[in-house]
Structure 1
Amino acid sequence: MNRTRVLVVSVLAALGVVVPAPAGAAPACATAWGSLPEVVGQAGPGDDRVYDVRAGQHACFDRVVVDVAEVSGLDSWSVRYVPVAREDGSGAAVPLRGGAVLQVTLGAVAHDAEGRATYAPADRREVVDVRGWSTLRQVAWLGSFEGRSDIGIGTRARLPFRVWVLEGRSGSGHDVRLVIDVAHRW
């Protein structure tokens, strides 16, 4: 960068004017996230209903979203790194690709009041295709048992993550989304 451009950019920055980064520049991806468990409530039994699990890629993180039809209020969930993911009910180990495993437990079921499935992925071990992604290596459905549902997320390494609930309305009732963002790096 020549001296004149440096001076102009410095003056504009001092005035609070945002100067776009040159094309091809990597985004700033600093986070204040950590890798310790994030827990709300006791992740105990609930009657809300899981109806989808999906994922997305962003510049600084990969995201898993659990769509939940809210019946009484999604008020309990837990997301934590574990040595191995475990199936809901049986406790059987579920190996996942990657250097670390996040287990997501939420107080929501995957069936309605009549016992009909509200979420039944075609392939429990590959809920969404995350091949080639920066951070996510595998997303698996671990099951729904006694008022709770579990999802296993294989990640490249133990990386910072954040969890939050996004309220919203779909066309058929009040829905919420449990959002898990896993950073690409520390």
Structure 2
Amino acid sequence: MHKGRRAAAAAAVLVAVGSAGLVAPAASAVGATTAGSGAATCPTGWGSQPKQGSDQTAKPHSLTGIRTGRHDCYDRMVFDVGGGTDALNYHVEYVDTFRQDPSGTVIPVSGGAILDIHVGASAYDPETGRATYPGRPGKALPGVDLTGYRTFRDTKFGSSFEGVTQVGLGVRARLPFRVQRLSDRLVVDVAHTW
């Protein structure tokens, strides 16, 4: 194929991916490619220890969506929370058993390991009580299809209680992960390998 046509085709794919709601990887997040091999050099320093962000000035947020994306080096889960640059509390860690907050009810999550994700955003409007995200306790996340993912295996909605939404993410194994707070979302990336 002519170079100009390849560039146009690549641009069309990026536009299509962006309009489908997936998050395209940033060049610095994926890393450089090895000369001549086409294989991505993936980051390896994320670790698998708990990660959290805590700020006493955090204002109430509402969760409006959860979506996922596949990348060369990792699978990604995005929590749309709005709020601009406002502080957002979160806590993400591997657990042996996924237990619903605050009841402690066990919710089965498939996979070799489970990430327990707590996001400081309720699935309802804090002022009106109107639902902003249709998650149901113990059920898979609505609209999330993990077919073809290398790392992600299962999702379960835990709860939305006192301004915090809880999600269980089943992954292939206990792999490195990172958490990033962007202006209107929280991003959890789980690497394909160590």
Shift of 1:89: 3.0
Counterpart contact for 1:47–1:72, Cα < 8 Å:
no
Q: 2:190 aligns with which of 150, 160, 182?
A: 182
Q: Distance in 2 between matches of 1:72 and 1:132?
A: 33
Q: Percent identity between the aligned chains?
A: 42
2:93 pairs with 1:77: no
Moved more, 60-69 or 113-122: 113-122
Secondary structure of 1:142's aligned partner: strand
Instruction: Please name the residue that 1:56 is paired with.
Output: 69
2:118 pairs with 1:105: yes
Counterpart contact for 2:50–2:92, Cα < 8 Å:
yes
Secondary structure of 2:63's aligned partner: strand
Q: Which amino acid aligns with 1:108?
A: A
- Return closer, same or farther for 1:144/1:72 CA change in 2, 3 Å cut-off: farther
2:158 pairs with 1:142: yes
Q: Distance in 1 between matches of 2:71 and 2:33?
A: 22
The structure with more strand, counted as a fraction of residues: 1
Q: Distance in 2 between matches of 1:151 and 1:19?
A: 34
Q: Number of matched residues?
A: 160
- Return closer, same or farther for 1:42/1:92 CA change in 2, 3 Å cut-off: farther
Counterpart contact for 2:91–2:119, Cα < 8 Å:
yes
Return the index of the structure with the highest Cα Rg.
Answer: 1
Deviations 1:138-183 (A, max 9, x none): 122112012211011100000000001111xxxxxxxx11000000
Shift of 1:36: 0.1
2:144 pairs with 1:125: no
Shift of 1:57: 0.3
Instruction: Please name the residue that 2:13 is paired with.
Output: none
Can you give the 5+ residue segments of structure 1 that lack an aligned partner in the other structure? 1-17, 168-175
Shift of 1:71: 8.2
Shift of 1:93: 0.9
Instruction: Please name the residue that 2:36 is paired with.
Output: 22
Secondary structure of 2:153's aligned partner: strand
Shift of 1:19: 8.8
Shift of 1:21: 3.5
